[in-house]
Amino acid sequence: MNYEQALQKLSDSGQQHLLKYYDELSEEEQKGLLQQIAETDFSVIRYLETKKSPAPRGVIEPLRAMQLSEIEEKKDDFTRKGLEALRSNKVGAVLLAGGMGTRLGSDAPKGVYNIGVTKDLYIFECLIRNLEQVKELAGNPIHLFVMTSDKNHDTTVAFFEEHDYFGYPKEYVRFFRQEMAPAVDYDGKVFLEEKGKISTSPNGNGGWFVSMDRAGILDLIHETGIEWLNVFAVDNVLQKIADPSFIGACIDSDCMVGAKVVRKADPEEKVGVICLEDGAPSIVEYYELTDEMRHQKDENGDYAYNFGVILNYLFRVSELERIMSHELPLHVVEKKIAYLDETGKAVKPDAPNGCKFEQLVLDMIHDMGTCLPYEVVREKEFAPIKNKEGVDSVESARALLEKNGVML
Ligand code: UTP
């Protein structure tokens, strides 16, 4: 793309300011900027409007979860079935590590965060340790696919190399990059990160399967015979990956996807809950439930909307391929975005100053024909690190790790 074509593309979406410093750039930087303009999809900016008037939800109804007592009863059978699937390489794991972790406030990828106290213990290490345990149980390694973004790919790969993959067989770990989207101010003007660089950010965790396919990993999945993919977040240090009992329960129920869920602490807790929407599995945010729904009880006297998701899903590959061409909704998310001000000075804001556009993995659930919500014990499996302090922080995760016997 040449300068004139770039200017035309930008004018069409009101973003000509991105060429403000063009004449000050070196030839190479100019080339880089033109290429970035050519590759960027500015049409996503129209979604800024949806922030003001979100799309209405369908008819919401409860979806029954498989609860702890039932799981306990069938545990041996589930575990046997899960291990069988793991032994025949039917399950792969997908670590979503493309996020920016802005709330934690570190520039490094979240997984390299050291949560140790008397010794080093990195978030990635916690996850690999867990996978290692499953490998021991199954007797063979599980393929691990790690999603990164342009912002953290090199650092993430270098970190794994430097730590020798924490002892996990390197040939079973593959990295792939997710797509990026432009970041804008509240008026829809795309930020410049540098004079020759448009501000972009990872486009959410919803595009993981499409990005895997673009990276050629789907071929490997077919060659290996992987039928299930366990997708999980980087920031839950008590994450149970490729959990044999969960896998067995999903196989047994013949569902297209399984979702690990935790019982809500109380009806008012602010978590996304699993339910049916227009008859299909779905996840609604706490504010989308009416007061009446929050307190609604089922035939056993339990709250009907009582289970929150923890971003640990087991997807059936054939179903993922079926829905691959479905467009997921784009969410407009307020974030802190580093930018150049009008004087060309770099600013790192300490409060949200604009929006990013994200597709979310939870929206994929609605496209799946059937879903098994599978209850897990919160204190044993859910220690997310989102914030520096307080709720879901390094501090709260450390306390939970210690409670589970992990030496810090
Ligand atoms: P979060 O929604 O917590 O986002 O991600 P984040 O970017 O890590 O953190 P904040 O909101 O900026 O503080 C949940 C999971 O999805 C992954 C994250 O790495 C985490 O495992 N994720 C998120 C991606 O892989 N890509 C994205 O674009 C966003």
Q: Quickly state the pLDDT bin for 211 (edges 50, 70, 90).
A: very high
Of all protein residues, whose CA lies closest to atom 22 belonging to ligand 1? Answer: 99
* CATH for 381: 3.90.550.10
**What distance in angstroms lies between residue 218's CA and the mean position of ligand 1's atoms?**
23
* Spacing, Cα 99 to ligand 1 middle (Å): 4
Q: What is the mean pLDDT of residues 76-87?
A: 98
Q: What is the whole-number distance in angstroms between the Cα of residue 100 and the centre of ligand 1?
A: 6
What pLDDT sits at residue 286? 86
State which ligand 1 atom lies nearest to the alpha carbon of 234.
Answer: 21
For residue 105, pLDDT over 90 is answered with no
**How sure is the predictor about 125, in pLDDT bands with cuts at 50, 70 and 90?**
very high
| 73: Cβ contacts below 8 Å, ≥ 6 apart | none
Q: What percent of the chain has pLDDT over 70?
A: 100
Q: How far apart are CA 186 and CA 184, in angstroms?
A: 7
Query: Within a domain: residue 52?
Result: yes
pLDDT at residue 54 tops 90: no
- With the C-alpha atoms ordered 287, 288, 290, 294, is the resulting torsion angle positive or negative? negative
Q: Which candidate, 368, 277, 379, places its Cα nearest to that of 314?
A: 368
Cα gap 399→390, rounded to integer Å = 12
- CA proximity to 52, closest of 293, 284, 334: 334
115: left (phi > 0), else alpha (psi -120 to 50), else beta? alpha
Helix (H, G, I), strand (E, B) or coil at 355: strand
Question: What confidence tens digit (pLDDT) does each residue in 284-315 have?
Answer: 988 889 999 999 999 989 999 999 999 999 99
Closest residue by CA, ligand 1 atom 15: 233
Q: Give residue 373's pLDDT.
A: 98
92 C-alpha to ligand 1 centroid (Å) = 20
Which residue lies with its CA nearest to atom 20 of ligand 1? Answer: 233
Residues with CB under 6 A from ligand 1: 96-103, 110, 147, 178, 202-205, 233-235, 358, 386
pLDDT value for 106: 85
**Mean pLDDT of the region 123-146:** 97
Q: Is 327 inside a domain boundary?
A: yes
Residue 134 tokens read as: 């499953």
Nearest-atom number in ligand 1 for the CA of 103 is 13
Nearest to 51 by CA among 172, 156, 160, 184: 184
β-pair type (228-233, 91-96): parallel
Please give the distance, rounded to the nearest whole angstrom, from the Cα atom of residue 27 to the centre of ligand 1. 35
Q: Which of 34-38, 52-56, 172-176, 254-258 has the lowest mean pLDDT?
A: 52-56
In angstroms, the CA 258 to CA 368 distance is 10
Confirm whether 13 is domain-assigned: no
pLDDT over 80 at 55, yes or no: no
pLDDT of residue 147: 98
Looking from the CA of residue 97, the nearest atom of ligand 1 is 19
- Does pLDDT of 102 surpass 90? no
* Ligand 1, atom 14, residue with closest C-alpha: 233
Q: What is the mean pLDDT of the chain?
A: 95
Say if 32 falls within a structural domain: no
| CA separation for the pair 146, 359 (Å, rounded) | 18
| Protein residue with its CA nearest to atom 5 in ligand 1 | 99
**For the CA of 96, the nearest atom of ligand 1:** 25
**pLDDT on residue 53:** 74
Share of the chain above pLDDT 90, in %: 90
Which has more pLDDT, 361 or 107? Answer: 361
Predicted local confidence at residue 166, as pLDDT: 97
Looking at the domain assignment, is residue 24 inside a domain?
A: no
Q: Can you tell me which atom of ligand 1 is nearest the CA of 104?
A: 13
Would residue 177 count as lying in a domain? yes
- Give residue 107's pLDDT: 86
Burial label, 341 (beta-carbon count in 10 A; 0-12, 13-18, 19+): exposed
Cα(171) to centroid(ligand 1), Å: 26
Q: Whose CA is nearest to atom 4 of ligand 1?
A: 99
Residue 299: which domain range?
Answer: 40-403
What phi and psi values does residue 15 have, to the nearest 5 degrees? -120, 30
Into how many domains does the chain fold? 1
**Does the pLDDT at position 51 exceed 90?**
no
C-alpha 311 – ligand 1 centre gap (Å): 11
Q: Is 123 within the bounds of a domain?
A: yes
Q: pLDDT tens digit string along 155-181?
A: 999 999 999 999 999 999 999 999 999
Q: Is residue 21 part of a domain?
A: no
Distance CA 36, CA 42 (A): 11
Q: Which two tokens stand for residue 36?
A: 């970035």
pLDDT in tens, 320-364: 999 998 889 999 999 899 999 989 999 999 999 999 999 999 999
pTM of the model: 0.94
3-state secondary structure the chain: CCHHHHHHHHHHCCCHHHHCCHHHCCHHHHHHHHHHHHHCCHHHHHHHHHHHCCCCCCCEEECCCECHHHHHHHHHHHHHHHHHHHHCCCEEEEEECCCCCCCCCCCCCHHHCECCCCCCCEHHHHHHHHHHHHHHHHCCCCCEEEEECCCCHHHHHHHHHHCHHHHCCHHHEEEEECCEEECECCCCCECEEECCEECEEECCCCCHHHHHHHCCHHHHHHHHCCCEEEEEECCECCCCCCCHHHHHHHHHHCCCEEEEEEECCCCCCCCCEEEEECCEEEEECHHHCCHHHHHCECCCCCECCCEEEEEEEEEEHHHHHHHCCCCCCCEEEEECCCEECCCCCEECCCCCCEEEEECCHHHHHHHCCCEEEEECCHHHHCCECCECCCCCEHHHHHHHHHHCCCCC
Nearest C-alpha to atom 18 of ligand 1 is from which residue?
Answer: 99
CA of 203 to the centre of ligand 1 (A): 10
- The mean per-residue pLDDT over the stretch 254-269 comes to 95
Pocket probe for ligand 1: among 44, 94, 95, 96, the residue whose CB has the most ligand atoms within 8 Å is: 96
Expressed in angstroms and rounded, the spacing between residue 262 Cα and the centre of ligand 1 is 20
Per-residue pLDDT, averaged over 105-127, amounts to 95
- Section 5-18 average pLDDT: 96
